[in-house]
Structure 1
Amino acid sequence: MENQNQDVKFGFNEFAEVWNGRLAMLGFVIGLATEYITGSGILSQIGLQ
């Protein structure tokens, strides 16, 4: 018996894309804040520069 009323919450769908965008924006803001607080860029923090 399949439940036809539930939306799929995995794969390429609107739910996944909205959360992907939200988490990308959060990561970007955290990266900018880390650069501002430490005074050095992300690449230099992980030893690539």
Structure 2
Amino acid sequence: MEKQESQFGFSQFAENWNGRLAMVGFVIGIATEFLTGQGILSQLGLI
């Protein structure tokens, strides 16, 4: 992995991290739904 400096805006570095964190969030959301038996909206009290 090559060393990259932190960058702001629409750069390859920012887009890679955005995608990685979105995938982690999606997996956490699915795992939470599986463990609690409730959807994300019902956990937040929206339905």
For Structure 1 versus Structure 2, the TM-score category normalised by the shorter chain is: 0.7 to 0.9
Cα separation, 2, equivalents of 1:27 and 1:13? 21
- Alpha-carbon RMSD: 1.6
Larger radius of gyration: 1
Partner of 1:47: 45
Partner of 1:18: 16
Structure 1: gaps spanning 5 or more residues: 1-5
Q: Percent identity?
A: 70
TM value normalised by structure 2: 0.84
TM value normalised by structure 1: 0.81
Provide closer, same or farther for how the CA distance between residues 45 and 8 of structure 1 changes in structure 2, counting only shifts above 3 A: closer
Aligned length: 44
TM-superposed deviation, 1:7? 5.2
Cα separation, 1, equivalents of 2:5 and 2:36? 43
Partner of 1:9: 7
